[in-house]
Structure 1
Amino acid sequence: MLDDIWVDDAVHELRPDFAVLVMTAHGLTNGPTDDRSRAWLAAAAEAEAQPAKIDAWKDAYRAFGAKPQRTRPSVDALTRRMPLPEINQAVDAYNTISVKHALPIGGEDLDRYSGPARLLRAAGDEPSEEALGTPEPGEVIWRDDLGVTCRRWNWRQGVRTRLTEETVNAIFLLERLEPMTLEELKEAGEELADLLAELSPGVRIATRLLSSRN
């Protein structure tokens, strides 16, 4: 799965500094929010604001024609929701890391994918869930063989692949723009892996970095 994921050249042309750390987690034991994941969220809510990182995503949205004050990058929308929402343990884990590092992160059920995830600029006719709506031409989207899984880079994920309490195998997409360094991206990935391992001691984690350099 990891080897088949790709980012289209047109996305790197839009933002040459874009990189995504892809993480798969096999053998998860997910469940409803508990005191442990609630404490993670509370600690993340105390993190210092990092507006430069969020502004970079707003600029990226404007570059493909989106209005970030109307459809906010995921990390911008998340940091405006205090206290942080309680979803389930795995989602709480990646939201914790997202807020701590001002880093957009998507988490999805790997078993609900058809074919590999790929990030590209939309033609405007891609199959999409009704709740997501049809992507606009040039919009940056994540998709698989069945259609759109996330619109406007990281604005809104679809229902089909969302993480639930029944999810056993997951994929996480940690999306970086400068001024975040690749080293901090790696650290964020390690921190997320640690939280997932705390939830599921037998979980098997694998990662791959995709950037304009590889």
Structure 2
Amino acid sequence: MKITLNKHLLKQMPGLKLGIIHYTKITVSESPQMLRGRLQLFQEQLFFELDTKPLTDFPGIKEWRETWKAFGADPNRYRPSVEALYRRIKKQNYLHTVHTAVDLNTFFSLQYEIPAGIYDAAKLVGDIQLTVGGEEDGYDGLNGRFNSLHNILQLKDEYSPFGSPYVDSIRTAVTEETTDALHVLFLRPSMDKEEALKLTTACGNMFTSISGGEASCYVIDEESPSVLVNGKEPFTF
């Protein structure tokens, strides 16, 4: 599976980068009490912080709003997923646990102030590319409705779009039957390569410590815009 960052995107946002984690032999199940408690505590702490701190004062949210605008989308109408999560917490509408994969994905997004998505690798078709959606692009999302991806970054396999830093598709959703998964971290463009790889590796390490299996970690950016999963010097642990 080859994952590519479309080179045309880099003209509008040279620092654009993705953290890619490929999991194999994982077990997706009900989250342990440790993870449920940690996620709840983090949300409660964030709620009090949001009481006095504007959303745009969070560096990750500010940076992703700017990225949205760079590609022609309106962040006030279609918000980056991390901002949507923070807005829920600000209203004390805390996120309920689902299973280990979704809960860890949510935790990483909140902790690092970045959009993130996790996808069942068995449901992906062929190679994957990060592009900007056209007028015709969209899918039925995990939010229960059809979502247009016009001017929004999208992950697209050889069948159709399936993920984005806005909302993900139901087609590639991870379930408790999933054993191989692709985790995509929409990293801050300002983050340097070393920090990006360190963050991606830390997420992979925490994920496998809870869900078992193995993780191979990569970063794609302007310097290395594509990667062949399981074929290009991953960091494996």
Q: TM class by shorter-chain length?
A: 0.7 to 0.9
Equivalence map 1:188-207=2 (5 Å): 188-201=199-212, 203-207=213-217
Query: When the two structures are superposed, what TM-score results if normalisation uses the length of structure 1?
Result: 0.86
Over 4 Å off, 4+ runs: 47-50
Aligned with 1:209 (options 219, 231, 234): 219
Report if the CA contact (8 A) 1:97-1:188 is conserved.
Answer: no
Give SS of 1:5's match: strand
- The total of aligned residue pairs comes to 208
Deviation at 1:200, TM superposition (A): 2.8
Equivalence map 1:55-66=2 (5 Å): 55-66=62-73
Q: What is the percent sequence identity of the aligned residues? A: 22
User: Which residue in 2 is equivalent to 1:171?
Assistant: 182
Q: Distance in 2 between matches of 1:127 and 1:93?
A: 25
Report if the CA contact (8 A) 2:20-2:185 is conserved.
Answer: yes
Structure 1: gaps of 5 or more residues: none
User: Which residue in 2 is equivalent to 1:183?
Assistant: 194
Query: When the two structures are superposed, what TM-score results if normalisation uses the length of structure 2?
Result: 0.79
Give SS of 1:42's match: helix
Structure 2: gaps of 5 or more residues: 51-56, 225-237
Equivalence map 1:113-124=2 (5 Å): 113-124=124-135
User: Which residue in 1 is equivalent to 2:83?
Assistant: 76
* 1:87 equivalenced with 2:94 (yes/no): no
Give SS of 2:182's match: strand
* 1:6 equivalenced with 2:25 (yes/no): no
Q: Distance in 2 between matches of 1:183 and 1:40?
A: 27
Deviation at 1:127, TM superposition (A): 6.8
Q: Distance in 2 between matches of 1:183 and 1:39?
A: 31
